[in-house]
Amino acid sequence: EETCDLRCEYFEIKANKFNYGGSRMRIEVFPLEKIKFDDKEILLGMKADKVQELLGKPDRIFENYGGESYRHFYFNSELGLDFDKDGKLEFIEFLAGIEGILRPYIYGISVFETDADELIEIMTGHDNEVDDSEADFCYSFLNSSIGLWRENDEEKHWTTLGIGMRDYYKYE
């Protein structure tokens, strides 16, 4: 059974990169809780209008699952925020990998700049309940609701990082 199908899907980014003056943007990731950068905190469970107050209008919005959820894209589509049917943030995904401007850090390390195998070891040290049914392409850390994805196992770094609400990757 594929558990990473829609949750770890990859969005090919073809748009021109937003100009941040050539610098990378460090974003701290707090599993099951929030992301933090500059003076902004985006919390899981936050309403979409509050997120827009902090980040501005999204670059674009897509409807998922026939209106059951919506994905808002920010930072030239490098950041995807999924809101449930009640407008609450349930999933945050960094989509551009090593090529992007956004640099998520978790447990003090840069997700996209750390070797893929080394990152799996570090993540497993923090959460040993792992869905590795699609190993080499996708890992889901079930207790911390963290997902990693890459197109193939020849890539040295992960391409996406997702964080979700509690039990996001646990399927019945």
For residues 122 and 109, the answer to whether their CB atoms sit within 8 Å is yes
Looking up tokens 């994905």 gives 71
| Rg of the chain, C-alpha, whole Å | 15
Would you tell me how many other CB atoms lie within 10 Å of the CB of residue 65?
11
For residues 98 and 112, the answer to whether their CB atoms sit within 8 Å is yes
Amino acid identity, residue 109?
A: I
| Entry pTM | 0.85
Amino acid identity, residue 137?
A: F
In 3-state terms, what secondary structure has residue 52? helix
Tokens of 20: 């941040």
pLDDT at 110 (0 to 100): 97
Q: Which of 21-25, 109-113, 168-172 has maximum average pLDDT?
A: 109-113
pLDDT at 12 (0 to 100): 34
**For residue range 63-89, what is the model confidence (pLDDT) as tens digits?**
876 767 799 999 999 999 999 999 999
**For residue range 149-159, what is the model confidence (pLDDT) as tens digits?**
999 888 999 99
Task: Name, in order, each residue with C-beta under 8 angstroms of 77's C-beta and a sequence gap of 6 or more.
Answer: 11, 13, 15, 59, 60, 95, 96
Amino acid identity, residue 170?
A: K
The share of the chain scoring above pLDDT 90, in percent, equals 75
Task: Give the integer Cα–Cα distance in Å for 143 and 76.
Answer: 30
Task: Cite the beta strand spans of the chain per DSSP E.
Answer: 25-30, 34-37, 40-43, 60-64, 69-74, 79-84, 89-94, 102-106, 109-110, 130-134, 138-141, 146-149, 160-164
